[in-house]
């Protein structure tokens, strides 16, 4: 490997691996078993560099909210709408006190001083109300798997990134429940905190969260549309995705991938190099739109592309 290439790789790798900031929700200093649901009409909650929008309405029929709430509720048992603020693990990630509860398709925004940074990931889990509804069924939603246990049900969240109003080419999906397996013993509903890797979205100034479910009726999804999140991890690196966003016709897909990735570009890719996380060059080539990964070990790699005046490094995941 040429020294210049190695130095460039080290720069790219360091920017991904260092200067992380973990944003939790402990700064709200909520007592245990309480919540904030936006009744102060401030329109959301600011947790350091992250803003979580909230929409709150009070009427003669009751109080309603959507977007995000902040919670320290610990009820992992009680079913039904009245327990909408609890996370199924009965705490935040790693036993912490406070977390955020999302209701309905929503999103989050980064403050102006970190716009264009990378949201590396966050921890996610099911809300107790949604978990119990999928496990048992209720007056509005079905029991996942049905009476036979063979129904191919699922409940997932799809996360997309935006930068300056432009949608990132990649999205990340996470299954909160998945009953699509032929072997019913593999069916699951998430009841622990799970890490959701979002690095493939690249540089962003906001994220959107959209639900999808197999249980859909005349008025939309029947499954309660709730998630819980904690510990959002930001990097101060400005991803190469910012360059991609300036050229919407260029993208690398699918990511993650099991066998190969494709390069969709409006100009020729002159050369490309693929590095593992140690900085070792594992593959290289030129003038290609398809890169085989099947012979590589599973894990993260850095794909460096050279196209005219641009040199772009993209993190990809081989599964």
Where residue 310 falls among pLDDT bands split at 50, 70, 90?
A: low
Structural domain span for residue 22: 18-238
Q: Residue 127 falls within a domain, yes or no?
A: yes
DSSP state at residue 280? -
Q: Express each pLDDT in 76-102 by its tens digit.
A: 999 999 999 999 999 999 999 999 999
Q: Residue 1 falls within a domain, yes or no?
A: no
Token output for 221: 């999804």
Same domain, 105 and 215: yes
Same domain, 200 and 283: no
Q: Express each pLDDT in 181-205 by its tens digit.
A: 999 999 999 999 999 999 888 889 9
Q: Residue 199 falls within a domain, yes or no?
A: yes
Residues whose CB is less than 8 angstroms from the CB of residue 50 and which lie 6 or more positions away in sequence, other chains included: 23, 108, 109, 110, 111, 232, 234
Q: Are 155 and 214 in contact (CB under 8 A)?
A: yes
Whether 50 shows a pLDDT value over 80: the answer reads yes
β partners of residue 194: 124
β partners of residue 47: 50
Where residue 226 falls among pLDDT bands split at 50, 70, 90?
A: very high
Q: Which of 170, 171, 188 is nearest to 179 (CA)?
A: 188
* Domain final residue pick, 238, 263, 280: 238
Same domain, 231 and 278: no
Where residue 315 falls among pLDDT bands split at 50, 70, 90?
A: confident
Task: Tell how far CA 78 is from the center of its chain.
Answer: 27
Q: Residue 7 falls within a domain, yes or no?
A: no
């Amino acid at each position: 490997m040429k020294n210049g290439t190695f130095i460039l790789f080290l720069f790219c790798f360091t920017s991904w691996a260092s200067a992380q900031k973990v944003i939790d929700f402990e700064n709200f200093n909520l007592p245990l078993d309480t919540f904030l649901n936006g009744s102060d009409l401030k329109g959301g909650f600011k947790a350091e560099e992250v803003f979580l929008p909230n929409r709150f309405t009070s009427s003669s029929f009751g109080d309603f909210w959507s977007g995000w709430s902040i919670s320290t509720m610990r009820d992992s048992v009680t079913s039904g709408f009245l327990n909408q603020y609890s996370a199924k693990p009965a705490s935040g990630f790693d036993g912490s006190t406070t977390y955020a509860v999302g209701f309905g398709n929503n999103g989050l925004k980064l403050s102006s001083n970190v716009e264009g940074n990378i949201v590396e990931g966050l921890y996610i889990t099911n809300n107790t109300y949604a978990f119990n509804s999928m496990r048992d069924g209720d007056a509005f939603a079905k029991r996942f798997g049905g009476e036979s246990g063979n129904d191919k049900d699922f409940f997932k969240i799809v996360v997309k990134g935006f930068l300056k109003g432009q949608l990132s080419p990649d999205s990340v999906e996470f299954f909160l429940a998945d009953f699509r397996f032929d072997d019913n013993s593999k069916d699951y509903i998430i009841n622990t905190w799970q890490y959701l890797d979002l690095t493939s979205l690249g540089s962003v100034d906001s994220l959107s969260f959209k639900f999808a479910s197999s249980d859909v009726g005349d008025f939309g999804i029947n499954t309660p549309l709730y998630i819980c999140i904690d510990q959002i991890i930001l990097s101060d690196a400005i991803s190469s995705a910012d360059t991609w966003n300036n050229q919407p016709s260029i993208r690398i897909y699918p990511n993650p991938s099991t066998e190969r990735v494709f390069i969709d570009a409006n100009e020729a890719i002159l050369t490309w190099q693929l590095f593992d996380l140690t900085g070792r060059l594992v593959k290289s080539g030129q003038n290609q739109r398809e890169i085989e990964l099947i012979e590589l070990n599973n894990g993260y790699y850095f794909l460096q592309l050279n196209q005219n005046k641009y040199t772009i490094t993209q993190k990809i995941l081989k599964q």
